[in-house]
Structure 1
Amino acid sequence: MEKELKYVDLVEQPISMHPKKFALWLFMVTVVMIFAALTSAYIVRQAEGNWLEYDLPEIFWFTSGIVLLSSVFLHWAYISAKKDNLLQLRIGMSIAVALGIAFLVGQWYSWVALVDRQVFFVGNPSGSFLYVFTGLHGLHLISGVIFLIIVLISSFRYKVHSQSMDTMEMATSYWHFLGGLWIYLFMFLLLNH
């Protein structure tokens, strides 16, 4: 009596991710590469000399606190959405949006402070880099605020709740990413200025 060998094909489950989430992660990787290239160029150009020395605007400390605080409120909104607490979701989202706008206003005033210190976009490369860093980050932050507003509106239309978290998760990931990116840039500028 011979034993039959049975072959069982094990079908592996592919790693699945929502296509929009995947696109967002690819976009964030691209942004990291852009800022990595810019910070590398900053270090190389600084080593060449002819580098204007100036103090960073003090408002950067406040805007850093604002962006961190906005992430805290957004995370609170995220947890509230998972618990179907729509009131707290809306409050947290509203505060995060307001703080995001406050951050952008603060960044505008940082440019005003730079102009008052005779640091301009054209002229010395040290000023140019600072304007490019803050301007490019600000542009991404504007898109983040718009994303948060879309999620806030969706929350009032009952489209964000524990059973529908995709846009909330994407907005939270993107916003935390932008906050982390700002902290990286600020620390980079403090250490390499």
Structure 2
Amino acid sequence: MSAIILFMAGVAVIAGWWLSQQRLAAKPWLEEGVIVDLREHDSSSLPAAKIGLGVFLAVVGSLFALFISAYSMRMTMVDWRTLPVPALLWFNTGVLVLSSVALQWAYMAARRNDMDGVVLGLLGGGALAVTFLAGQLLAWRQLSAAGYFVASNPANSFFYLITAVHGLHLIGGLVALGRAMFRLRHGAEAGQMRLSVELCAIYWHFLLLVWLVLLGLLTGWTDNFVDICRQLLT
């Protein structure tokens, strides 16, 4: 239960930050300067693509929250045998962090109209994401070689299921990243790519948050973190 609260709190923080960047509370009719069409300003302040991504992330967040809830309830039963977490997962986590940083770099480069920076950031982020996926597959092979198969224990099944679903969402992000690269190669300007790169960066940050919570759930450190917070508050 504590992992669910931590996960939803993280999602709420990211959602609040994202909404704060969209000028939802802006009052353009009170701003001085050049007269503009308010309808055009409102439509451009929050593109439909951002709204769609926000809805999608809410659905994905709810899905993972259900996984976390089911995991937390199932692990209290007597047939649960804790799965040893491969040390490789920590390396994979570092790779995913670097991938998220690379996407943020690409977005900042797009804001500066730095085409080379956008390309470098997208390529670096994509390559690191592929490395993360390869590392996850290697972790699966290590567990299988040690005798921890999918059907051996409920803990094993949850591990493979949760990591597989997260990996599938990352593959979907790579598809979107590939489309952005395709547009760049066919002459799109960095300024025109700003929204696409921003959406990719937001998606990467979200998947990083999800993975950190999942890793904490699998290793058990989320419960320790929540206990420390409770002790500090009391």
Task: Identify the TM-score tier after normalising by the shorter chain.
Answer: 0.7 to 0.9
The one-letter code of the counterpart of 2:179 is: I
Give the structure 1 partner of residue 109 of structure 2.
Answer: 80
8 Å contact 1:121–1:128 — kept in the other structure? Answer: yes
Where does the alignment leave 5 or more consecutive residues of structure 2 unmatched? 1-37, 224-234
Structure 1 residue corresponding to 2:198, chosen from 169, 172, 180? 169
TM-score, reference length from structure 1 = 0.87
The one-letter code of the counterpart of 1:179 is: L
Structure 1 residue corresponding to 2:79, chosen from 25, 30, 50? 50
Give the structure 2 partner of residue 106 of structure 1.
Answer: 135
TM-score, reference length from structure 2 = 0.73
Where does the alignment leave 5 or more consecutive residues of structure 1 unmatched? 1-11
Q: CA deviation at 1:157?
A: 2.6
Give the structure 1 partner of residue 61 of structure 2.
Answer: 32
**What is the DSSP-based 3-state SS (H/G/I as helix, E as strand, rest coil) of the residue aligned with 2:147?**
coil
How has the CA–CA distance of structure 1 residues 35 and 87 changed in structure 2, closer, same or farther, with 3 Å as cutoff? same
**What is the DSSP-based 3-state SS (H/G/I as helix, E as strand, rest coil) of the residue aligned with 1:47?**
coil
The one-letter code of the counterpart of 2:126 is: V
Offset from partner CA, 1:93-144 (integer Å, 9 cap, x none):
1111110110110110111011022111113110000001100000001001
8 Å contact 1:77–1:91 — kept in the other structure? Answer: yes
The one-letter code of the counterpart of 2:83 is: Y
Give the structure 2 partner of residue 150 of structure 1.
Answer: 179
Offset from partner CA, 1:149-190 (integer Å, 9 cap, x none):
211222223325225422111111111111111111111211
| Greater Cα shift, 148-157 or 62-71 | 148-157
Give the structure 2 partner of residue 127 of structure 1.
Answer: 156
Structure 1 residue corresponding to 2:119, chosen from 82, 90, 103? 90
8 Å contact 2:173–2:200 — kept in the other structure? Answer: yes
Taking the aligned partners of 1:144 and 1:164, their CA distance within structure 2 comes to: 16
Give the structure 1 partner of residue 220 of structure 2.
Answer: 191
Structure 2 residue corresponding to 1:159, chosen from 176, 184, 188? 188
Structure 1 outlier segments of 4+, above 6 Å: 12-15
Structure (1/2) with the larger helix percentage: 2
Q: CA deviation at 1:53?
A: 2.5
8 Å contact 1:89–1:155 — kept in the other structure? Answer: no
Q: CA RMSD in A?
A: 2.1
The one-letter code of the counterpart of 1:47 is: T
> Is 1:65 the equivalent of 2:71?
no
Q: CA deviation at 1:48?
A: 1.5
Taking the aligned partners of 1:63 and 1:76, their CA distance within structure 2 comes to: 20
**What is the DSSP-based 3-state SS (H/G/I as helix, E as strand, rest coil) of the residue aligned with 2:75?**
helix
Taking the aligned partners of 1:76 and 1:121, their CA distance within structure 2 comes to: 38
